Structure 1
């Protein structure tokens, strides 16, 4: 019988940010470092952090960034649980730039695909940069604030 691990999902405190950034680094996440204005959500088990995702301010909206789940925890439902927790923190529209194969994953909490010309300028520039690097990503927007 497989061992059941219990996860806790909670908003990171200021003291958690260093550990969250180290988790990003260990996962090979190449995005910007966690900023003071970010809302960071952590998933932990007895071994420590096993998931991180954050909302970064983007003009008057949010940008969902840096969803990283420990490889041993992927496809366990942890990422979905983190998304559903994150929705409760979305008090304004939220953008994201996921890999195309994850469109349905983010769609489960109300994100829909958008065209680059409808994105805020800073996000459109980031999107264009990803495309130049050959990344297969899509632009998405969750228009409403919580709940789903």
Structure 2
């Protein structure tokens, strides 16, 4: 019998950003700290944060960053549920730099692979740095309503 999801998914309040950052730190996420301008989505199991993902402003677009799910809650559909919830608020184009094996996962909500020369400069520089570190990542874009 499939496990029933008992998680709640909601956007973090300003007061919850510290807890979201602590979750990132506990997971070993090495990305930039959460900024006040980020839109942060939390998944909870009761009062415990078990998932975090965020949209960070990138020029006139978004950058999806830091999808982290607690290991005990991975492969439960929680990441997919968070991704679909996040998609409802993507009012403009959104980039992401996922590991290559996650291309299909992000493709569920319309992300498609792009080349570095089509990325905003800051993102292309981050992408190049990841590649230099030997990370197997891809660039992806989901076009939003602001796209021409």
TM-score (norm 2): 0.95
State how far apart, in whole Å, the 2-side matches of 1:51 and 1:116 are: 29
> What is residue 122 of structure 2 aligned with on the other side?
122
- CA shift, 1:19, in A, is 0.3
* Residue 135 in structure 1 maps to residue 125 in structure 2: no
CA gap 1:138/1:3 in 2 versus in 1, 3 angstroms: closer
> What is residue 73 of structure 2 aligned with on the other side?
73
> What is residue 11 of structure 2 aligned with on the other side?
11
Q: Is there any run of 5+ residues in structure 2 with no aligned partner, and where?
A: none
Write the deviation string for residues 49-103 of structure 1: whole angstroms up to 9, x where unpaired.
0000000000000000000000011111000000000011100000000000000
Q: Quick check: 1:5–1:45 contact (8 Å CA) kept in 2?
A: no
Give the length in aligned residue pairs: 146
> What is residue 42 of structure 1 aligned with on the other side?
42
- CA shift, 1:22, in A, is 0.3
State how far apart, in whole Å, the 2-side matches of 1:6 and 1:42 are: 14
Partner secondary structure for residue 110 of structure 2: coil
Write the deviation string for residues 14-54 of structure 1: whole angstroms up to 9, x where unpaired.
01000000000000000000000000000001250000000
After the TM superposition, which segments of 4 or more aligned residues of structure 1 sit over 3 Å from their partners? 1-5
Q: Cα RMSD over matched residues?
A: 1.5
